[in-house]
Chain A
């Protein structure tokens, strides 16, 4: 079974840092680009970041550029998102998603992990 499981969410004060992890299983991890997509409470979906299969290229939304860093460990089938200088507007459920280049879409999603930025 193809599965993505996020972890690492929690509460943090504005200006703080947090790291998210996504464990992948059931597919050849390094064959796929991976992404983070977030959803603020009661709001729509926002693409955050993507990373290529071998991890050599990363892309970020302007809203997180310079503050968030995506990385991956292909030997352990894990995707990461390190978040610095967190703001209240970063409060959201963060989903990791597999990007299937062949169909140009997110074909597998994790269940999400909640990040709350509040004093």
Chain B
């Protein structure tokens, strides 16, 4: 099983700041199979990034993804109030499909 480890666990930031979230895989993950999701309290997750770096439909360009192999990153430029949420990385290149434990981005 591929374990995805996200760091940090929680980030306390102010609107307008730039944030970088890390997702490290225990084994190689083909970039095509790495996605990022955003989840707000009481809501379903929402797809942000697929293929490690491609924004999903309707996702603002302040969100960007990068990385390859075992190290992947989600960057949010100029945090907006609606961006405070939990972010998960996920891989579907190897069964079982797995999610990271999540990074919470909270308002400072």
Q: What size tier do the contact residues of chain B reach?
A: 20 to 34
Given A44-B88, A44-B100, A47-B97, answer yes or no on A104-B45 (Cβ-Cβ < 8 Å). Answer: no
Contact between A44 and B51, CB atoms less than 8 A apart: no
A-B pair number, CB within 8 angstroms: 60
Closest to A45 in B: B99
Q: Does B60 contact A (CB under 8 A)?
A: no
Q: Does B7 contact A (CB under 8 A)?
A: no
Task: Tell which of A71-79, A81-89, A107-115 binds the partner.
Answer: A107-115
Give the contacts of A29-46 with B (CB-CB under 8 A).
Answer: 37, 44-46
Q: Does A59 contact B (CB under 8 A)?
A: yes
How far apart are the CA atoms of A62 and B50 in the complex, in Å?
25
B residues adjacent to A (C-beta < 8 A) = 32-33, 35, 37, 39, 43-47, 50-51, 54, 56, 88, 90, 92-93, 95-102
A residues adjacent to B (C-beta < 8 A) = 37, 44-47, 50, 59, 61-62, 95, 99, 103-107, 109-112
Residue contacts A-B, CB under 8 angstroms, 26 given: A44-B99, A44-B102, A45-B37, A45-B102, A46-B99, A47-B96, A47-B98, A59-B95, A59-B96, A61-B96, A62-B96, A95-B44, A99-B92, A103-B35, A103-B50, A103-B51, A103-B56, A105-B35, A105-B56, A105-B90, A106-B35, A106-B45, A106-B47, A107-B47, A109-B44, A109-B46
- Given A104-B50, A104-B92, A106-B35, 12 more A-B residue pairs with CB atoms under 8 Å apart are A45-B39, A45-B45, A45-B90, A47-B90, A47-B98, A62-B96, A95-B44, A103-B35, A103-B56, A105-B92, A106-B47, A111-B44
